[in-house]
Structure 1
Amino acid sequence: MVLGAVLGALYPPSALGWLAPVPLGLLFRATADSAPRRAFRITWITATAMFGVMLSWLPQSLGAMLGWEVSLLFPVLAALLGLGCAAAVVVTRWAAGRLTLGALPLVWVLLDALREMGPLAFPWGGLGYFLSETPLVQVAEWGGVSLLGLLVGAAASAVAAWSWRGLWVALLWVGALAFGVTRPLESVGTRPALLVQGAVDPRAKVQADADREWRRYLSLTREAGVTPGTLVVWPEGAVPWPPPEGVRVPAETAVLLGASVGGAAPRNAAFLVRGDTVVGRQDKVRLVPFGEFFPGQARWPGLYRAVFRSLGLPALVGRVPGEAVRPVTLGAFRVGVLICYESVFASQARALVAQGANVLVTPSNDAWFGASRGAEQHFRMGRVRAVETRRWWVRAGNDGITAVVDPRGQVWARLPRFIPGTLPVAFSEREVLTLSVRWPGWVVWAALALVISGLYMRKVVHIFRLAHW
């Protein structure tokens, strides 16, 4: 349990994530030396403690918004996430035998990839993010966060083995570190943008006043005195769509705004608007489970109504996910829009850049995180998308985090949280395609191939020994 708590504390925004291979290596050693049943128990307890500390902001933020009763679900979530890790480790221990230490880094990379898939996807806890605050993050352009995770896992196995064979892992880390610290600095951006932070109480959104919300953001935008050609970004769900009669954005600039679309199929969307013209639209594809959609609500509507009633909430209706992602284009801008939660999905950022996006933009609403460290985790994980794709990343949050990040993952400017304001920034379009974009998921596929081939060879050797005997 102590090892898990330490791992959770080392997760971003901690700057000590590079130490994660030590407690993780001790876990690997304990599981490799144990029978499968004991390995399962050790891993489950450790991983549950890790997620418990890592996600400690969850009961704090949701409890403040929805009542303390919601906090009772938090131990269940941590235990389920820990169960996934324990299951992966025990299968590896059973199948790999003496090769467990070599297989565990590969299996953990596969496990992290699985957590990014499906409607209940939750990428928190990926090993690669332990290196997000270090110069080693720069190698993400070669293989994304999965390659970073492989570096962490390999180092953990080297710690567990504690032999001269671990020197090659140390050389890999030295090489990655050298690459990171010698990356040239980015020059100042050439394209102006204005990021608008409305700092609206999320509870006030439940009784949204369309005219009030539109005028709030238009007022902040106009007070900033934007010049023609400036890209203005409003947060996720900043306003309801369509705009009220007589309300329009300035015709001389483009506004990328987050909007809630009502009707029979409610959606969370981003619109690129100039005057009365909608230049482009992107619907949110990755919805937050149990936040923006409710799994099984159509099958068990009575159950959800009872839960909502017990929490003092109205009968909430889940949103409909978007069907595809594509850049939103305006002149030289080909904007890859990652709406809030989508910024933690490497696959979506890669897909947008592969389709031509030359800048990444995130309208977000982290107000439900409150003052917890959840918003910082969300932001630090999203910064890795800039490095993986070598794109500028522009982010406007309702109450923060509002910032601009360069292709090295460095923050150039940032607004304080919880106060309304605007942030003039600059960015540049980038056209280069990194290896991570050109060969998406190659680390995951390589890990899968190595695991399968390793298990096959172990079986062949076992059969050969039996035959020889």
Structure 2
Amino acid sequence: MRGVPGRVWALVLASGVLQVLLFPIAGPVPVWRAALSWVALAPLLVALLGGKPLRVRDFALAGYACGILWYLGSCYWVMPTMYLYGGMSKPAGFGILLLFALYLGLYHALFGALLGVLRRFLSPENTLLASPFVWVAVELARARITSFPWDQLGIAQVDNAVLTSLAPWGGVYAISFVLVAVNVALAWAWMEKKWRIAVGVLGVAAVIQVAGMFRNTPVATHEVATLVQPNLSESQRYGAASLLQELVPLSQQGSSAGSKIILWPESPAPFATSDKNFLQAIAALASATHSAAIIGSEGVEVDGLPPRGYKAYNSAALFAADGSYRGRYDKIHLVPFGEYLPFASIFQFAGGLVAEVGESDRGHLRTVFRPDGHGYGIFICYESIFADEVRQFVKNGADVLVNISNDGWYGDTSAPWQHLNMARMRAIENHRWVLRDTNNGMTGAIDPDGNLRQHAERHIRTAIAVGFGYSDQLTFYTKYGDVFAYGCSLLVIGVLLWGVNKQQVAS
């Protein structure tokens, strides 16, 4: 850090704060904050490329500082989750948050380091031109390597109908690319003191931002689903029998005539597919309402093998409208420190959180549920942040997507709103309705353009009937996945190899 001008650190700090403001803090993001995504990275780019040449390690350190700040601010909800439900003290909860930020901030460090390497054989201008490709490559690495693509830059523009038109083609990565490209143009104008160009770029961004506020024509609905929001406390223990006595009548009351399906969320309820009373109660509900049912529950399989003698999955139990039990979907992508403890010997101090929710086994099949000739692709909670995984349900025949979740762990922090926006992006990428059923909000129906069309109020026990529709068309993104992001990554690798070879020839 010695020899790095104070101006650089001031710009890094400004960029980190701006990146925090792009995403929900404790509610929906106002338009003015979402609009900051057009400028949030420009200070970081100017810090890295707008002054005297920095060493590669200084590029990395500047990026790292920005990333740490971003994760501390955007994902602050990690701390209350840990001390409220993980049996930790507040200082220990902050320690987990800090470790979390130090770990994931390494991706911003990677972004900075790659720009630093490129700068060794490219001009500042050409390094800037490479920046959108590098950013997308790093976002892809975040999704593929550490499996935490939370709040990718493009998610900040989920309400922009102009930009989200790119998602069915290149996924959220295409939106991130455009945003970084505009930041690059502003950074270049800033560095060259081309203020008229800067004003022009901002003008174009403003036009796209305003035009994006005019949403697409509402998508017609042809079917009805019943979404049950039980609003159960995370800290209270419930009996399965008593809950069934409350939630079954609630489901019947909330169900409208012709409802195709009833959804219950992932929740603290002690429902298990090994419980015959549970299976009978839901079978009777489905039969009485002539509705299929997808019910958040624990999937249990007795296998007699150590260490427990059984396997326990975070599951969705599946019932047809005639009351027949059709099996279950077992969650594949589990939450670290929530559903399993990674590197248990190292992180024993975080075991309290796992003790609260139980250690789950990992599912293996992306089951598409077909109770009535239409395919329902079900993903549970955290799985909604993985675009490439959700698209596989649609590619496998899902005509509508179902997301059951329990965001009660996060209280009234930013996490439920951030989580909702990522589910909305999955709807846009695949052009599918998403029926989102949660324990305490946000429960509702998301149309194929990402609009939350109907929803239940948060923190109340209720059942609502929502409209939705089916589709069997496949978007380019659904068919081919992250080809755009991989293309950006291959380009970055190619330029790096070319530069290394060029330097070796020169020496």
TM-score by length of 2: 0.82
- Inter-CA distance 76–23: structure 2 relative to 1 (3 Å threshold): same
Stretches (4+) displaced over 6 A: 163-179
1:189 pairs with 2:227? no
2:324 alignment partner, one of 272, 277, 297: 277
CA contact (8 A) 2:265 2:439 kept: yes
Give the whole-Å Cα distance in 2 for the aligned partners of 1:124 and 1:314.
24
Per the TM alignment, residue 423 of structure 1 is displaced from its structure 2 partner at its CA by 1.1
Q: SS where residue 457 of structure 2 aligns?
A: coil
1:38-71 C-alpha deviation (Å, 9 max, x unpaired): 2222211111111111112221343333342323
Give the whole-Å Cα distance in 1 for the aligned partners of 2:434 and 2:20.
27
1:199 pairs with 2:222? no
Give the whole-Å Cα distance in 2 for the aligned partners of 1:284 and 1:72.
29
AA aligned to 1:26 is P
Residue pairs, 1:19-98, within 5 angstroms: 19-32=36-49, 33=51, 34-66=54-86, 67=88, 68=90, 69-97=92-120, 98=123
In structure 1, the residue matched to 2:143 is 116
Per the TM alignment, residue 460 of structure 1 is displaced from its structure 2 partner at its CA by 5.6
Give the whole-Å Cα distance in 1 for the aligned partners of 2:211 and 2:480.
20
Q: Which segment drifts farther, 138-147 or 227-236?
A: 227-236
In structure 1, the residue matched to 2:281 is 247
In structure 2, the residue matched to 1:10 is 22
- Inter-CA distance 438–179: structure 2 relative to 1 (3 Å threshold): farther
1:139 alignment partner, one of 163, 166, 175: 166
Aligned residues: 457
CA contact (8 A) 2:219 2:447 kept: no
Give the whole-Å Cα distance in 1 for the aligned partners of 2:486 and 2:373.
35
Per the TM alignment, residue 307 of structure 1 is displaced from its structure 2 partner at its CA by 5.0
1:224 alignment partner, one of 254, 267, 287: 254
1:326-372 C-alpha deviation (Å, 9 max, x unpaired): 32112232011111111111011211111111111111100001011
- Inter-CA distance 340–166: structure 2 relative to 1 (3 Å threshold): same
Give the whole-Å Cα distance in 1 for the aligned partners of 2:326 and 2:493.
48
Per the TM alignment, residue 230 of structure 1 is displaced from its structure 2 partner at its CA by 2.4
In structure 1, the residue matched to 2:338 is 291
Residue pairs, 1:325-404, within 5 angstroms: 325-404=366-445
1:212 alignment partner, one of 233, 236, 242: 242
Give the whole-Å Cα distance in 2 for the aligned partners of 1:70 and 1:244.
39
Give the whole-Å Cα distance in 2 for the aligned partners of 1:38 and 1:319.
42
AA aligned to 1:115 is R
Per the TM alignment, residue 178 of structure 1 is displaced from its structure 2 partner at its CA by 9.7
Identity of aligned residues (%): 25
Note the aligned Cα RMSD (angstroms): 2.9
In structure 1, the residue matched to 2:10 is none
Q: Which segment drifts farther, 385-394 or 44-53?
A: 44-53
Q: SS where residue 318 of structure 2 aligns?
A: strand
- Inter-CA distance 424–76: structure 2 relative to 1 (3 Å threshold): same
In structure 2, the residue matched to 1:258 is 296
In structure 1, the residue matched to 2:266 is 236
- Inter-CA distance 59–426: structure 2 relative to 1 (3 Å threshold): same
1:160 pairs with 2:191? no
Give the whole-Å Cα distance in 1 for the aligned partners of 2:368 and 2:353.
40
AA aligned to 2:85 is M
Q: SS where residue 266 of structure 2 aligns?
A: coil
CA contact (8 A) 1:139 1:179 kept: no
1:267 pairs with 2:313? yes
1:126 pairs with 2:159? no
CA contact (8 A) 2:38 2:183 kept: yes
TM-score by length of 1: 0.89
- Inter-CA distance 399–181: structure 2 relative to 1 (3 Å threshold): closer
Q: Which segment drifts farther, 363-372 or 254-263?
A: 254-263
Per the TM alignment, residue 180 of structure 1 is displaced from its structure 2 partner at its CA by 5.3
